[in-house]
């Protein structure tokens, strides 16, 4: 697997500036809020989305004065959505760490997410670029729509793969697309490059989410930081379970039996997990992720052959290879 330290190529050193900006987000005067922000922003994750913003901005005029606030806003927005997700799902852990709602209760966590949404908007406004500000607002609407689609469709076995793809396009891929497109816009890149980077980010985000949904069934629980099959347990149909439903529409389908169960739900969940793991749906789902990954790679063709382009290609490989 590609080493984490080499993932971001020519912008690796400037990611320190993003971390410093995140530190400033956490440095609020109200101690309880500062404690909550420190918990959710202090755990350094992959930071893929802000790195993509910097990489996308490196093909033309690379100006950290606008790129770093934009990259930081992307990360804060992403983290805010996770905070609200955990409240909605009543999740106790994320990636093996206690969630904000588990530590600070639901109501304060909702307001924490609201504060972060507002702060991310303030950060993107620092770019002074109306086009990017509008992109930010549109992305937030798409993400909210995707989350709403997921919540409303919970435990509904009538949903189709097309519904799933539309949902993850809004919930996940739209933010990856905004990260890459936004970086290109503030750098003053030509429209052809902006379009290419938008397509790259969107396709990478689709591949990322499909792989994430596969890992929900295959990854080691101690690495993933949540129980196996957690999405299915919460009524969220992802590509593997949808493929199983597509293969067998009868009432005997273990996913249908899980959703219909009023008792013995743990047993029904185990049956569904076994059926998914023993069938061919996981390799088929991976092939779909690989298709999105291939589109992401191909979309980079109009861009100059630079170390930044190589880093973006490497991120595609990383998304397919990651184990958590």
Residue 28: the pLDDT is: 94
In tens, the pLDDT along 237-283 reads 999 999 999 999 898 999 999 999 988 889 999 999 999 999 999 99
In tens, the pLDDT along 175-191 reads 999 999 999 999 999 99
Total-model pTM = 0.94
Residues 43 and 97 sit within 8 Å (Cβ to Cβ): yes
**Residue 44 banded pLDDT, cuts 50, 70, 90:** low
| Alpha-carbon dihedral angle through residues 112, 118, 119, 123, given to the nearest 10 degrees | 160
Q: Helices (H), strands (E): how many in the chain?
A: 17, 2
**Structurally, what CATH architecture does the domain formed by 4-321 represent?**
Orthogonal Bundle (1.10)
Residues 87 and 107 sit within 8 Å (Cβ to Cβ): no
Q: Which of 37-51, 54-68, 211-225, 262-276 has the highest mean pLDDT?
A: 54-68
Residues 42 and 26 sit within 8 Å (Cβ to Cβ): yes
Neighbouring-strand partners of residue 98: 93
Structure tokens at 117: 């949404």
In tens, the pLDDT along 97-144 reads 888 888 888 899 999 999 999 999 999 999 999 999 999 999 999 999
Among 24-33, 46-55, 217-226, which stretch is predicted with the lowest mean pLDDT? 217-226
Residue 257: the pLDDT is: 95
The average confidence (pLDDT) of the chain is 93
Is 70 exceeded by the pLDDT of residue 4?
no
Q: How far is CA 150 from CA 24, 171, 172, in A?
A: 33, 9, 12
**Residue 196 banded pLDDT, cuts 50, 70, 90:** very high
Q: Average pLDDT, stretch 41-55?
A: 90
């Amino acid at each position: 697997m590609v080493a984490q330290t080499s993932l971001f190529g020519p912008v690796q050193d400037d990611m320190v500036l993003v971390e410093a900006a995140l530190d400033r987000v956490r440095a609020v005067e109200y101690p309880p809020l500062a404690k909550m922000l420190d918990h959710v922003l202090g755990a350094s994750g992959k930071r893929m989305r802000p790195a993509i913003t910097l990489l996308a901005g490196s093909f033309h005029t690379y100006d950290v004065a606008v790129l770093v606030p934009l990259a930081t806003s992307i990360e804060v927005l992403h983290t805010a959505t996770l905070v609200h997700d955990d409240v909605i799902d009543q999740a106790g852990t994320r990636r093996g760490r206690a969630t904000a709602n588990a530590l600070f209760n639901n109501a304060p966590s909702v307001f924490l997410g609201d504060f972060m949404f507002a702060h991310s908007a303030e950060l993107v406004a620092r770019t002074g670029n109306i086009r990017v500000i509008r992109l930010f607002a549109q992305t937030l609407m798409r993400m909210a729509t995707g989350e709403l689609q997921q919540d409303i469709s919970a435990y509904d076995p009538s949903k189709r793969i097309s519904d799933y793809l539309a949902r993850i396009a809004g919930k996940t891929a739209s933010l990856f697309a905004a990260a890459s497109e936004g970086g290109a816009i503030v750098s003053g890149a030509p429209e052809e490059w902006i379009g290419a980077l938008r397509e790259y980010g969107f396709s990478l985000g689709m591949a990322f989410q499909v792989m994430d949904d596969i890992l929900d069934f295959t990854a080691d629980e101690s690495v993933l930081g949540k129980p196996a099959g957690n999405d299915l347990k919460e009524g969220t149909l992802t590509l593997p379970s949808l493929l199983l439903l597509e293969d067998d529409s009868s009432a005997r389908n273990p996913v249908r039996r899980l959703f219909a169960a009023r008792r013995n739900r743990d047993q029904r969940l185990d049956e569904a997990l076994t059926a998914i793991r023993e069938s061919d749906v996981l390799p088929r789902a991976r092939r779909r992720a690989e298709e999105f990954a291939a589109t992401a790679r191909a979309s980079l063709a109009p861009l100059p052959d630079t170390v930044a382009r190589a880093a973006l290609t490497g991120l595609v490989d990383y998304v397919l290879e990651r184990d958590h």
